[in-house]
Structure 1
C-alpha cells in the first residue's frame, strides 16, 4: 500500500481557534502530519508525492465561487486596515439564499462556518495539495491498487461545497469518492471520525450514487451540533442514501464496533464498487477532544472489519490530534486493515 503525501501540506499552520468562547492554540498543526507520516512508513507503506492535478479534483465537488474565494481571500484580507493576520470571520448570514456580498469580510462569513478554519498565506496551496493526495490515491485504486492511504492535511470532512469549517477547507473524502465514480457506478464513504462528517453529508445529500455513512459522537452536545443526527436520511433522489450512527460520549471499542456492524450491513445492501474511509483517529480514548474511548487495539479491529468487505479502498486521513499514541493508532488501523483484507479476499468479500 502507498501513502500519498506532500510535505508542502505542512506550510499551513493556523494560529488559534475559539472553543467555548475561549482562545486556544489550534490543534490542527503540522506536527500531526509528521507523526502520521512516520507511522505510515513504519507500517511499511511506500511514499508517493502526488502530482499537481490542478483545480479539477476540487472543482468536481466545490463551487467555482467558493474556490475563487479561497484563492484570493488572504490577499484581499490583508488590504483591510487593522485586519487580523489570518482570515477569521466575525459575521455570518442567517440564510444562504440571500445576496452575495462583495466585501471580503462578508464573504469570509458566508464561506467559513466557524473560527476553527483560519486562512493564512499558505492555506489555499496546502488545501489543494491535500486534495491532490486524495485524488491521486483514488486514481491508484481505480487503476487496480487494492487500497491507498491519502495523508490529507488539512483534513476535509467538515467542508461543504461552498463552506469551510472545523479545520477543513476542501473535502478530500468527497473528492476521492467523485474520482472513484469514474470507474465505479456506486461509491460509499464510511466516516469513522470522532466528529460527524457534515460537509461530506451535505455534498452528497441529494445523490443516490454515493452512500454516506458516519459513526461519531452524538452531536446533540458535541461539534458540529447541527448535523449528524440519526433522522438525517438524505433528500430528493438521495433519500435513504445517508446513515448517521451517533454514539454516546465515552463509547469504547465494543459500542463502536456494534455501530460499525450496522454500517457494514448498510454498505453491503448498497453494493458499492469502491469505498472511501474517512479515517479519524480522534475517537481514541486519549485524544485531546476526549469524545469517545476507542483503544489502540480497537483501531486494528475497526480496520480489519472494514477491510473484510474486500472493496477497492481509499483511506483518507481526517482527525486525530497530537498525543503520544497517534502514530500507534494509525499503525494499528493499517495492520488490521491489511490483515482483514486478506481474509475478505479469501471469503469473496463477505462480511465477518
Structure 2
C-alpha cells in the first residue's frame, strides 16, 4: 500500500488545550506521527513524500474566507497589543449571527469552534502538508492504486468548510472524497474514529453524491456533543446520505463491529464506487481519551470488514494518541485491510 507523509507536518506543535476550564498538555503532538511512521517503516511500508501546493483541491472543499483566515491570522494576531504568541479564540458566536468581522479576534471566534485548534507561526505549513498527503493518496487511487494511506497530522474530520475544531483545520477526508468524485459518481466516507466526524458530516450534509457514515462514542456525553446523533440523516439532496452509529461509552470490539456492519450495509445500498476511511485509532481501550475499548485485534477485524467492500480506497489518518500500542494498532489495521 502506498503511504504518504511529510516531515513538514511536524512543525505544528501545540502545547496546551483547555479541558474543563484547565489548560492541559495537548495530545495532538508531533510525536504521534513519529510513532506511526516508525511502525510503518518497521512493518516494511515505504513512506513517500507527497507533492505540495494543490490549493485547488483544498479550495474545492473549504470556504475562501476561511482559507484566507488560516493564511493571515497569525501575523495579524501578533500585531495586536499584548497578544499571545498563539491564535486562540476568546469568543464563540452562538449561531454565528449574520455579520462577518474584520477583526482577527472576531474571525478567530467565527472560524474556530473551540480552543483545541491554536495557530502558531509554523502551523499553516504543517496543515497544508497534511492535506497534501490526503490529496496524494486520492490521486494515487485515481491513477489505479487499489488503496493508499495518508498519514495526516494534524487530523481533519472535525473541520467544517469554514471552521476549525478538535485539533482539525482542513478536512483531509472530505478533500480526498471530493477528488475521488472527479472519477466516481458516488463516494462513501466511513469514519471509525472515537469521535464523530462532525466536520465531514457538515460538508456533505446536503449532498446526495457522498455518503457519510460514522461509528463513534455517543455525543450525548462525549465530544463533539452537538453533532453525531442518530437522528441526523442529511438534508435536501443529502437526505438519507448520512448515517450516525453512536455507541455507549466503553463499548468494545463486538459492539463496534456490529455497528460497522450496519454502516457497511448502508454503503452497499448507496452504491458507492469508491471509499474513504477516516481512520481514527483513538477508539482503542488504552488511548488517553478512553471513550471506547477496541482492541488491536479489533482494528484488524474492522479493517477486514471494510476491505470486503472491495472498493478503491483512501485511508486517511484521523485521531489516535500517544500510547505504547499506537503504532501496532495502525499496522494491525493495514494488515487487516490487506496492505501489509
TM-score class, shorter: over 0.9
- 1:221 partner SS: coil
Equivalenced residues, count: 340
Aligned to 2:316: 316
What are the ranges of 5 or more consecutive residues in structure 2 without an aligned counterpart?
A: none
- Structure-1 separation of matches of 2:279 and 2:306: 11
- Structure-2 separation of matches of 1:53 and 1:86: 25
Aligned to 1:346: none
Q: Mean Cα displacement is larger for which, 65-74 or 81-90? A: 81-90
Shift of 1:53: 3.0
Aligned to 2:278: 278
Aligned to 1:37: 37
Aligned to 1:294: 294
TM, length-normalised to structure 1: 0.95
- 1:249 partner SS: coil
TM, length-normalised to structure 2: 0.99
Contact 1:60 1:178 in 2 (8 A): yes
- Structure-2 separation of matches of 1:165 and 1:62: 14
- Structure-1 separation of matches of 2:15 and 2:79: 20
Is it true that 1:260 corresponds to 2:260 in the alignment? Answer: yes
- Structure-1 separation of matches of 2:295 and 2:331: 13
- 2:138 partner SS: helix
Shift of 1:143: 0.9
Contact 1:57 1:132 in 2 (8 A): no
Q: CA RMSD in A?
A: 1.0
Contact 1:17 1:23 in 2 (8 A): yes
1:110-259 matches, within 5 Å, as 110-259=110-259
- Structure-1 separation of matches of 2:19 and 2:56: 34
- Structure-2 separation of matches of 1:180 and 1:187: 7
- Structure-2 separation of matches of 1:74 and 1:37: 29
Shift of 1:42: 2.4
- Structure-2 separation of matches of 1:213 and 1:83: 40
Contact 1:43 1:334 in 2 (8 A): no
- Structure-2 separation of matches of 1:326 and 1:107: 35
- 2:338 partner SS: helix
- Structure-2 separation of matches of 1:21 and 1:193: 25
Shift of 1:45: 2.1
- Structure-1 separation of matches of 2:276 and 2:301: 18
Deviations 1:161-216 (A, max 9, x none): 00000000000000000000111000000000000000000000000000000000
Deviations 1:128-152 (A, max 9, x none): 1111100110000011101000000
- Structure-2 separation of matches of 1:88 and 1:174: 25
Deviations 1:254-296 (A, max 9, x none): 0000001001100000111100000000000000000000001
Shift of 1:97: 4.3
Aligned to 2:17: 17
Contact 1:57 1:131 in 2 (8 A): no
Deviations 1:210-230 (A, max 9, x none): 000000000001000000000
- 2:230 partner SS: coil
- Structure-2 separation of matches of 1:41 and 1:182: 32
Is it true that 1:98 corresponds to 2:98 in the alignment? Answer: yes
Deviations 1:42-88 (A, max 9, x none): 23222110101331121010000000000000000101111111100
- 1:107 partner SS: helix
Contact 1:138 1:179 in 2 (8 A): yes
Contact 1:152 1:172 in 2 (8 A): yes
Deviations 1:106-146 (A, max 9, x none): 00000000000001111111111111100110000011101
Q: Mean Cα displacement is larger for which, 244-253 or 90-99? A: 90-99
